[in-house]
Structure 1
């Protein structure tokens, strides 16, 4: 699958001082991309068409409209949650594995400014690592970043019935002033019939995806 380019700010204002204007990321095979600022509706329609085409042989024709409407509803809910998290781009698995869709997602955030407006990149990375259950230093296209791992409990009040793992990469946008950041948050539900090894494989897949990260200056 080709690289997906995502704008992080106004190119004319930023590229002249060496600040990246966007980033490229290669999603896993069998995943698709939903832009959250424009083109969202078209992306949802494309994913629904592809999903309906993957329905098993013998699936009742009379049930296809209901299945289509349910998928549209679920995708719109996922998009809404991603936007509430300042999402820029949403990546979702769209190809079934052993007859089921993988309960996982990846959200790339829109650029986030430091709350204080004056915090240095290094100090923010240190603070993130200190507050996380598990953290490690990483590098994304030559830029120091931090990877954190958290297990989140179920939250029935928000419609989250099972716990999940969340892996997040936080990377500063080089030369941005005031400091701005991108976050890439991968989440996978810990459903009862999914073994631990498969969940760990999904986390490793996300780490592999992040090695494809590249800044864009055009």
Structure 2
């Protein structure tokens, strides 16, 4: 969960050059701007090694093709958002390849001057940024993460077969002000379908897990 504000930091720190997010080995990072194809190929090749050796030969080819199709579709959809990185659980405990959850990392600029981007309170700006997609009835909270203002939003996105989403999903987004750069905001967006329902026990457990991930989020400094 979001930490309580701790007050200003007096010491001078090196500038922020990136972020660190501690994830289990089952999760893989796919950079979306450079090195995407290399990362995709490594993940797929690793997944192929987990195909049972006694699998019928006539089933292996179709399985590989469907696996690659689903995985590449997920990456392509993420790239359309102009995000920085996509994280997927490519090594679930069950041994099966799964796309039932994801974390999408991106940056977003301040709202335009006409929207109140100049002179507005930082928390209000964060809420404005999160409100751009028209989501209503979301749960909002604010605090600090690694010394930076953060706003958390949680909601359920309904299924939209026209957009390729067959099931409703539980979504949790953290938008964090980048230290020493008031024009930059970091966004980490988590999504899961749980066990098939956005508010089932698995979805609840995964949301708690993601909150723990963000509680340990940190900046990389030069």
The one of 135, 141, 149 aligned to 1:144: 149
Map residues 124-163 of structure 1 onto 2, 5 A cutoff.
Answer: 124-127=125-128, 128=130, 133-163=138-168
Are 2:194 and 2:201, in contact at CA under 8 Å, matched by a contact in 1? Answer: no
Map residues 172-191 of structure 1 onto 2, 5 A cutoff.
Answer: 172-177=177-182, 179-191=183-195
Are 2:138 and 2:153, in contact at CA under 8 Å, matched by a contact in 1? Answer: yes
Are 2:194 and 2:202, in contact at CA under 8 Å, matched by a contact in 1? Answer: no
Q: Following superposition, which runs of at least 4 residues in structure 1 exceed 6 angstroms of deviation?
A: none
| TM-score, reference length from structure 1 | 0.81
- Structure 2 residue 170 is matched with structure 1 residue 170: no
The one of 64, 67, 84 aligned to 1:71: 67
Are 1:33 and 1:91, in contact at CA under 8 Å, matched by a contact in 2? Answer: yes
Q: Counterpart in 1 of 2:102?
A: 105
The one of 85, 90, 105 aligned to 1:89: 85
Q: Counterpart in 2 of 1:31?
A: 27
Counterpart CA distance in 2 for 1:145 and 1:132 is 19
Could you tell me how far 1:29 is from its partner in structure 2? 3.3
Give 5+ residue unaligned stretches, structure 1.
1-16
SS in 1 for 2:16: coil
Which stretch has the larger CA shift, 84-93 or 134-143? 134-143
SS in 1 for 2:59: helix
Could you tell me how far 1:114 is from its partner in structure 2? 0.9
Which stretch has the larger CA shift, 119-128 or 45-54? 119-128
Counterpart CA distance in 2 for 1:141 and 1:159 is 36
> Cα RMSD between the aligned structures?
2.6
Counterpart CA distance in 2 for 1:173 and 1:80 is 27
SS in 2 for 1:87: coil
Give 5+ residue unaligned stretches, structure 2.
1-12
Distance 1:131-1:205 versus aligned 2 partners, 3 A rule: same
Could you tell me how far 1:18 is from its partner in structure 2? 5.2
Distance 1:132-1:25 versus aligned 2 partners, 3 A rule: farther
Could you tell me how far 1:160 is from its partner in structure 2? 0.7
Are 2:148 and 2:179, in contact at CA under 8 Å, matched by a contact in 1? Answer: yes
Are 1:28 and 1:205, in contact at CA under 8 Å, matched by a contact in 2? Answer: no
| TM-score, reference length from structure 2 | 0.80
Structure with higher RCO (Cα < 8 A, 6+ apart): 2
Are 1:19 and 1:176, in contact at CA under 8 Å, matched by a contact in 2? Answer: no
